[in-house]
Structure 1
Amino acid sequence: MQKLLNIGELADFLGFTVAAVSAHLHRKNWDAVPKPIKLGRRLAWPADEVQAWVKEKIQSRGEPSHRRGPGRPRQG
């Protein structure tokens, strides 16, 4: 049977706080955390998928990332 990580275990594995992981999830920032699966109302991450996601990040770190614009428009 495959090991599933909860949000606390994912945060420990990635070196984030639970609050930081939650914030990335809320913003759907899939560059910062892998996509979860839903188990009823709970979120979980298959451990092998998280490890594959990290390996992909390591391999792609030399490639330029998608860059946003200069920031928020100024009101004036």
Structure 2
Amino acid sequence: MPPRAILLSGFIESNGEPMRLINLSEVMLMTGFKKTVIYSWVKKGTFPRPVKIGRSARWSLEEVEYWIQSKLDSKADNQ
């Protein structure tokens, strides 16, 4: 089942689709990592920064997918 996401029709991703924002639970599900690891990577600049909406944090689905793909690509390059 694809992650639930907020569609932002006024914002377009690089693939031409409306921007989709996902919450931390969905980021953790997609990556397999816990909140503390994700936020430590954000602080280091090695993981996409969330968009703050009020007190909520949301991530661009495209940016998280790109991050995952880059990790898979670097693994393939190292083999």
TM superposition score normalised by structure 2: 0.56
Structure 1 gap segments, 5+ residues each = 64-76
The aligned residue for residue 16 of structure 1 is 33
CA distance in 2: counterparts of 1:23 and 1:50, whole angstroms? 15
Q: Relative to total residues, which structure has the larger strand share, 1 or 2?
A: 2
The aligned residue for residue 44 of structure 1 is 58
Determine what percentage of the aligned residue pairs are the same residue.
28
TM superposition score normalised by structure 1: 0.57
**Which has the larger Rg?**
1
- Please state how far the C-alpha of 1:22 moved relative to its aligned partner: 3.5
CA RMSD of aligned residues (A): 2.2
Matches within 5 A, 1:1-76: 1=7, 2-25=19-42, 28-31=43-46, 33-61=47-75, 62=77
Aligned with 1:16: secondary structure?
coil
User: How many residues are aligned here?
Assistant: 60
Q: Relative to total residues, which structure has the larger helix share, 1 or 2?
A: 2
For CA contacts below 8 A with separation 6 or more, give which structure has more relative contact order: 1
53-62 vs 7-16, which moves further? 53-62
CA distance in 1: counterparts of 2:74 and 2:57, whole angstroms? 26
Structure 2 gap segments, 5+ residues each = 1-6, 8-18
